[in-house]
Amino acid sequence: MSKYFQYTKIGLISVSMLFLVNCGGGDSNEGDDDGNTEGGGGYHIKSFSIEGSYPSTTGQIVPINSGVNNGKFTVSWKTTANALYQVRLRLHDNDVLPEEESNLPIIYQNNCNMGNLGQNDVCGSDATRICQFTNDNRVHCGTRKTNITRFLDQIPKMGYMILEICGGGLSYDDCDTKSVEIEFQ
């Protein structure tokens, strides 16, 4: 019986120390290297870029064409997050997420900085994903396949791909977003 209590005591001490390490201490960082103060608590997006199916001829708008380069495009981001964070790539007509975002298509979602915990789609604070837009209006990105027919009310369709990174413990309520203008063709 005393060994049970000894192991329980060791377990409780270990869990308590884990909470103390994750909840505080360390330096406060207001903003990132670029002076960006969006988001909070260290979950800032340093950069977000998309390389389209072919080089853009219109400047800032990234072309994603299902008939060129097999519809492939590359999404890359860097974040200041050094702890577990959740990442989502959403499509929207505007460059800012609305308060009610549940009806926006999510083309990629993952929990990052988990190390190798049996996850086959590992990402850290720097990540790159090769995605594909197919003729049947699906986007394959990581292990996710999303039908975006409802988003595509016309072709070509201009819109935004919005990267959202959230951290802050189990609630994931500390978020930062960046967007890139795209055109599905």
Break the chain into its structural domains and give their ranges.
41-184
List, in sequence order, every residue forming a beta bridge with 74; answer none if it has no partner: 51, 130
DSSP, res 156 = S
Residue 36 pLDDT: 38
| CATH for 41-184, options being 2.50.20, 1.25.10, 2.60.40, 2.30.30 | 2.60.40
Residue 53 pLDDT: 92
**Residues in the chain with pLDDT values less than 70:** 1-42, 114-122, 168-172
